Structure 1
Amino acid sequence: MAKSEEKEAKPKGQGGDKADKADKGGKAKGKQESKGKQESKGKQESKGKDKKSKADAADTPARPVVPPRMRDKYRDKVVPAMTKKFGYTNPMQLPRVEKVVVNMGLGQAVANPKMIESAVDEVCDITGQKPVVARAKKAISNYKLRTGMPIGVFVTLRRERMWEFLDRLITVALPRVRDFKGVSPKGFDGRGNYTLGLREQIIFPEINYDKIDSTRGMNVSIVTSAKTDEEGRALLTELGMPFRS
């Protein structure tokens, strides 16, 4: 009789274990479902917030984009004046400014590499665009220069930034040069492109004199589509470049 009771007890125990496992599995599934519901609710709420923020941004009026003043001057005044002076019959013949390259050479950076960082920040503040670091292509032992060492920074400006930089250069920066009597007309290369040398970067109002470690010069190259120096000079003169007489 005792053996039969033990045999009967075993299947009862096994059935009880299965029921316990089923209860645990049901609880786990319930927890997973509740977690899934909470996550889906959170995602829906976040999506709703994103939609609201986008809708609010769309409702707020956008700031008016002010076109570059120098570009408007080129279209309204320079084009008619150049057409009248040179007798252009096709609008494609009109010379225009294609790009402006600002280059700052740093020979002292060989001994003091930290000058490159400050030069990058200064050119970025002046032009509104991060410059590229120029590196040496050849090693020169007399100057302790190795291949790949940084020797300067430069930036190429086009479109709106080009026009804005030219506007600030002509109307703000050049008049702040000490004893300024005009720029030299000898900076043309024979193909209508003009290069201007500046001795100090502090003539630009974006540079804080108290925060710079030293004054540095730079070259500004204005690349035009003019075929001759005469056309290039006439173009820059109409834009307001104060050439020395």
Structure 2
Amino acid sequence: MAEAKVYIPRLKKLYREKVAPELFTELGYTSKMQVPRLVKVIVSMGVGEARENKKLLDAAVGDIEIITGQHAVKTKAKKSIANFKIRKGQEIGARVTLRGNQMWEFLDRLMNVALPRVKDFRGVNPNGFDGHGNYTLGLTEQIIFPEIDFDKIEKVMGLSVSIVTTAETDTEAKSLLAKLGMPFRR
């Protein structure tokens, strides 16, 4: 019986064959388990106008599902904020957590297809690290993804992409993402 070919995303293959060995020698690790790797990618969209128009929240959920290919979860306010007219427990956003092959595929599409479509793109901000090796990127409009049909969107909304890594420091994480192809601004 013939053995079935297992699909491996292009970026994951690049990480295993090229990036991980380079990081191992470059950063002087003693064990292969010390090499930083990607854990998960969180794509979220805050919809402040959802308190007046529930249709916008449903549209945001639909857009995130189209972009990521995975079911989105509606997020609720953790506490009431009077100035923004938000009550605790009110639905105000949407979020998706990607792991495994879907995470690798999404990052590949983000770095090689979506980001170059940003108007006047000069690279992503290299200061988006949190001090623990995680990177957060804010996008101003969801229409940079080719999956989104411009004629069918309710409103142009921004979204946030958080990349969680096992890196101990920001320099290790930046090196990992740069070798994977993240276009950092000089």
Tell me the TM-score range normalised by the shorter chain.
Answer: over 0.9
Determine the C-alpha separation between the residues in 2 that align with 1:67 and 1:139. 45
Say if 2:124 and 2:185, in contact at 8 Å, map to a contact too.
yes
> What's the Cα RMSD here?
1.4
Alignment match, 2:7: 66
| Alignment-derived partner of residue 51 in structure 2 | 110
Superposition deviation, residue 81 in structure 1: 1.1
Task: Report what 1:76 is aligned to.
Answer: 17
CA–CA distance in 2 between the matches of 1:179 and 1:65? 39
Structure (1 or 2) with the greater helix fraction: 1
**CA–CA distance in 1 between the matches of 2:88 and 2:53?**
16
State which of 186, 207, 214 in structure 1 corresponds to 2:155.
214
1:226 is aligned, of 167, 171, 174, to 167
In the TM superposition, residue 140 of structure 1 has moved relative to its aligned partner by: 2.6
Q: How does 1:72-151 map to 2 (within 5 A)?
A: 72-151=13-92
User: What is the CA distance between 1:149 and its match in structure 2?
Assistant: 1.2
Q: Rg bigger for which structure?
A: 1
Do structure 1's residue 167 and structure 2's residue 96 form an aligned pair?
Answer: no
Pair 1:188-2:114 in alignment? no
Which structure 2 residue ranges, 5 or more long, are not aligned? none
**Deviation string, structure 1 residues 10-42 (Cα, Å, up to 9, x no partner):** xxxxxxxxxxxxxxxxxxxxxxxxxxxxxxxxx
1:2-41 equivalences in 2 (<5 Å): none
Does residue 239 (structure 1) correspond to residue 180 (structure 2)? The answer is: yes
Which structure shows the higher strand fraction? 2
Deviations 1:87-134 (A, max 9, x none): 112011000000000110000111111111111111001001111101
Aligned residue identity for 2:26: K
TM-score by length of 1: 0.73
Q: Deviations over 1:63-84 (max 9, x none)?
A: 9553211100000110111112
Residue 145 of structure 2, aligned match among 190, 204, 210: 204
Read off the aligned partner of 1:161 and give its amino acid letter: Q
Percent identical among aligned pairs is 57
What SS class does the counterpart of residue 180 from structure 1 fall into? Answer: coil
TM-score normalised by structure 2 residue count: 0.95
**Which of 1 and 2 has higher RCO (CA within 8 Å, sep 6+)?**
2
Do the aligned partners of 2:128 and 2:135 also contact (CA within 8 Å) in 1? yes
3-state SS of 1:154 partner? strand
Name which of 92, 98, 105 aligns with 1:157: 98
* Local SS of the residue matching 1:120: helix
| Matched letter for residue 176 of structure 1 | R
